[in-house]
Each structure stands twice: as structure tokens, then as C-alpha cells.
């Protein structure tokens, strides 16, 4: 966009979003006592930039050009994962992880997982165990 007096302003912005979900179930006849896994990850990215340019021709033969740019970016990520074992039936697959039978012996009957978030700081992971 021309602002007059040799000034030109441009702006650009973008936003991306992704949502990835996955899961699997190994039946009791393939994996001893069955095993189920679920994962979800969501990511948002934002980018914006603004530039300002100026040019002027002096005495018909000397050209001066100046250019300035400002750019900002942010990223946000959230997700979780969970694994369950020791199923007594294959009827639910990975849609009912609470169907895993809990046992005092690990790893059978354990449900392990975590939550992860990131933002302006470093990635933080919060482990979960049931």
C-alpha cells in the first residue's frame, strides 16, 4: 500500500492449526492380555509481519532506499498420550481404556500417560500414572 512521499507499507499474517489423533489396540491373542494406546496433539502457529519501505531520488541520479521490518511469531502446543494393558476382553478396543484390569504388579494393569504443553517457555511434561 502506497502512503505517499515514497513510503510503501506491506503487511502479512498467517495462522495454522493441526489436530492429530491416533490410537491402536492389540487384541489379547496378539499381545498377552491386550494393549491399547491413545494420543492427541493440537498445535497453533501464528505469524505476522509489517514492513515499511522508503525511496527517494536526489538530483536525478542518486537513489536512497530504506527498508524496515517487524515480525512476530507465537506457537502453542497441547497433547496427551495414554497406554493401558491387561484387558479381559477385546470388545472395546482403545475406546474404553478403563476396561484394563488393574493389578499390583507392573506393567500389567498399569495406565501410563502424560500431558504436554508449550508456549513462550520450554516444553513442560506432566507424567500421569494410575
Torsion over CA: 111, 112, 118, 124 (sign): positive
Which of 113, 108, 82 lies closest to 97 in space, CA to CA? 82
Question: Residues 52, 60: contact at Cβ < 8 Å?
Answer: no
Q: What are the boundaries of each domain within the chain?
A: 2-129
Q: Which helix (H) or strand (E) holds 99?
A: none
| 107-120 pLDDT tens trace | 444 444 444 444 44
The pLDDT of residue 110: 41
Taking the C-alpha atoms of residue 90 and residue 68, their distance in angstroms, rounded to an integer, is 62
Does this model's pTM top 0.85? My answer is: no
How far, in Å, are 38, 51, 92, 114 from residue 95 at the CA level? 9, 50, 6, 18
| 7-65 pLDDT tens trace | 999 999 999 999 999 888 888 777 767 888 888 899 999 999 999 999 988 888 899 99
Taking the C-alpha atoms of residue 36 and residue 127, their distance in angstroms, rounded to an integer, is 18
Amino acid at each position: 500500500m502506497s502512503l505517499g512521499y515514497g513510503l510503501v507499507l506491506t503487511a502479512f499474517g498467517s495462522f495454522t492449526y493441526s489436530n492429530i489423533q491416533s490410537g491402536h489396540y492389540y487384541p489379547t491373542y496378539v499381545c498377552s492380555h491386550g494393549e491399547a494406546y491413545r494420543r492427541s496433539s493440537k498445535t497453533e502457529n501464528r505469524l505476522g509481519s509489517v514492513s515499511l519501505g522508503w525511496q527517494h531520488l536526489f538530483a536525478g541520479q542518486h537513489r536512497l532506499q530504506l527498508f524496515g521490518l517487524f515480525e512476530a511469531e507465537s506457537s502453542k502446543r497441547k497433547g496427551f498420550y495414554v497406554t493401558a494393558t491387561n484387558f479381559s476382553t477385546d470388545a472395546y478396543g482403545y475406546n474404553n481404556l478403563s476396561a484394563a484390569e488393574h493389578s499390583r504388579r507392573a506393567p500389567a494393569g498399569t495406565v501410563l500417560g502424560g500431558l504436554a504443553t508449550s508456549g513462550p517457555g520450554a516444553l513442560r511434561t506432566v507424567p500421569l500414572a494410575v
